[in-house]
Structures are given as structure tokens and as C-alpha cells.
Amino acid sequence: MSKFVGVNQVNLSIEEIKKLNIRRVEICITQSRPYKESLKDALETLEFCEENRIAYSVHLPLYIPKWYQQDYLAAFFLSKNEALRKQSFHLLEMNLKKLEEKNVDYFVLHFPGVNHTDTDHENFKLFLKSSLEEINTLAEKYNAKILLEYFGSNILFNDYYQWIEIIESFSKIGLLLDTGHLYFASKLVPFDFLQAFSVLAKAADAFHFWTTKGSHYYQNNEYYKTYHHIIPNFNQDAKDGWAFDPRFIFNQMLNQKKPIILEASNIYKGHEYLINSIQELLEYAEIFQKDY
């Protein structure tokens, strides 16, 4: 199967990964199950990828020590609260160190914070630069590539042109474009989704692919609240209120020849729908990219 299109492992067993002949995986823990159980699964899949030479990325963090009491996906690298900020860097370093010997293709980080509430900040640009420098230094130290996932939720850092310009100046940092978060950002900031997608797709190093329905964002969106990340399926028509035409967006991503991770839950229409949709996308990519 395609070496570019992969799957987030949270909702798939190793048996299913084998059966679907998946050649790329993103290792991740989930808040929907007890931490220890989720970490055990993630590490087993990571070892399976190592043994079978399957390319894999790691969605940080995997290791969460007891001293870290915050929402681990929220991230506080840009928080004005110095104690929280230090903890975020400390958590990042601890994870990079523990995974130093592994063949991780790249790491994914929620750098800007998901629920950022600081609305004014003196010298924010300098502050941003120094935080990025610190991440870049850690990436160099542990020989890692770290991709920052784009969100629109940080009021001080949601201009995607600014993201591209700043991130491009760091050697070990890249950009990850997530179709669902970009869609919500386009409602939240707001901006034109397709215009932003075409600009960011060229600058991105990798993608997350999932969808949703409706014109509201995050907790204002009934589909997001009920189903979280929905697996894209070619039957989801933008005319019916879906975020985008999945075939059009998938084609644009495939043309970039960069990793695309299907990052979806199995709540919407159940597990079989997730598996069938993954299979359909993998087979489509195989045909699309056969000339590469």
C-alpha cells in the first residue's frame, strides 16, 4: 500500500494494520482510555512498526509523568505562565530522550496551545521566537524533526502566513496541516478554507486527514461534540454540509507526496465504517500514486 498514506493507530489493532497492509502509522495515546492501557498499545504498535520497517511518526507526548497534571494535548509553550511553560518544555525533552534510539520519522506537537486565553502579550513575536528556538535546540539535541500542528485557536498566533514564514526559518521544525482543525480555524479566525488549504498544503511537511459537518467550530459544533474526528469518505458531499469535498482535498494532498495520516475516531457509523473508509482511501491512493 501507499508509503505516503498512513493511519493513526489509536482505533486500530496490530492485526488490522497487518490485514490492511498499512505502510505508515502515527503512534499516539488517547484520552478515551486509561493512560497505562493506551500507552501499552501505542508502544506495542511502535515496536511492530520497528520490526516490520513500517514508517511511523509519533504524536507527542507518549510519556506523561505524575508531575505533569495539565491536559497533555493542550500544550503551554506560549503561555505567559512561566511554570506551565517550563513544564511543557520539560515534558517535551523527556519524551524526545526516551524515544531517542527509535527510528521515528517525525514528531507532531500541539505547539500553540489549543485553549489559549492570553489575548495581549508584550513583545509576543520575540517571545514566540525564543520558544521556537528552544524547541529547535531540543530537536537538534535529540536529532528529531518536530512538526507543529496548525490551529487557529491562539489569537496571537493564527495567521497562517506568519506560521509559514517563522517555521521555515528553523532547521528542525516543520508544519503539519490538519484538515479538520484548519476547517474550524477558517470559521474561528475567520478565513477562506480552500484558499488557506492551498497555501498551507505547499508549505506543510505532513497532513492529518479527518472531517466534520456544519458551519460551527469545536464545542459549538454538534457533529464534533458527538463524533469527534470523522473519517473522510467519498460519499460525504460538501453540498450536504460536510466541511469539504474529501476527494478534492485528498487529491491535493496526494499531489504533494508527503505523509497523510488518517486521524479519525470510530464513533461516526461505527468501527466497520472506519475500516471500510480507510481501505477505500488506501486503495484510491495506491491507484492515484502508481506512477510515482
Could you tell me the end-to-end alpha-carbon distance of the chain, in angstroms, rounded to an integer?
Answer: 13
State the alpha helices, DSSP H only, in the chain.
14-19, 35-51, 82-98, 124-141, 160-167, 179-188, 193-203, 222-227, 246-256, 270-288
Residue 67 CB, shortest distance to Zn ion, in Å, is 26
Residue 86 CB, shortest distance to Zn ion, in Å, is 25
Residue 176 CB, shortest distance to Zn ion, in Å, is 7
Residue 73 CB, shortest distance to Zn ion, in Å, is 10
Q: Which is nearer to Zn ion, 47 or 71 (CB)?
A: 71
**How many CB atoms are located within 10 Å of the residue 186 CB?**
21
Q: Which is nearer to Zn ion, 172 or 208 (CB)?
A: 208
Q: Which is nearer to Zn ion, 41 or 178 (CB)?
A: 178
Distance CA 270, CA 223 (A): 14
Cell numbers given for 105: 520519522
**Integer angstrom CA distances of residue 141 from 10, 97, 99, 137:** 29, 9, 12, 6
Residues between 195 and 224 with contacts to Zn ion, criterion CB under 5 A: 208
Q: Which is nearer to Zn ion, 178 or 205 (CB)?
A: 178
Residue 149 CB, shortest distance to Zn ion, in Å, is 5
Whether the Cβ atoms of residue 112 and residue 166 lie closer than 8 Å to each other: no
* Stretch of residues binding Zn ion (CB under 5 A), selected from 34-42, 170-178, 252-260, 273-281: 170-178
Residue 130 CB, shortest distance to Zn ion, in Å, is 25
Q: Which is nearer to Zn ion, 205 or 263 (CB)?
A: 263
Q: Which is nearer to Zn ion, 262 or 282 (CB)?
A: 262
* Stretch of residues binding Zn ion (CB under 5 A), selected from 25-33, 35-43, 87-95, 171-179: 171-179
Q: Which is nearer to Zn ion, 170 or 180 (CB)?
A: 180
Distance CA 218, CA 228 (A): 9
Whether the Cβ atoms of residue 73 and residue 110 lie closer than 8 Å to each other: yes
Q: Nearest residue to Zn ion, using CB?
A: 208
Total residues interacting with Zn ion, rule: CB under 5 A = 3
Whether the Cβ atoms of residue 142 and residue 167 lie closer than 8 Å to each other: no
**How many CB atoms are located within 10 Å of the residue 19 CB?**
12
Residue 111 CB, shortest distance to Zn ion, in Å, is 12
Q: Which is nearer to Zn ion, 67 or 148 (CB)?
A: 148
26 binds Zn ion (CB under 5 A): no
- Report residue 267 CA to chain centroid gap: 19
Residue 158 CB, shortest distance to Zn ion, in Å, is 16
What DSSP line would sit under 241-265, residue for residue? Answer: TBSS-HHHHHHHHHHHTS-EEE---
Residues between 250 and 269 with contacts to Zn ion, criterion CB under 5 A: 263
Among residues 49, 178, 205, 211, the one that binds Zn ion under rule CB under 5 A:
178
Whether the Cβ atoms of residue 122 and residue 151 lie closer than 8 Å to each other: no
- List residues binding Zn ion (CB under 5 A): 178, 208, 263
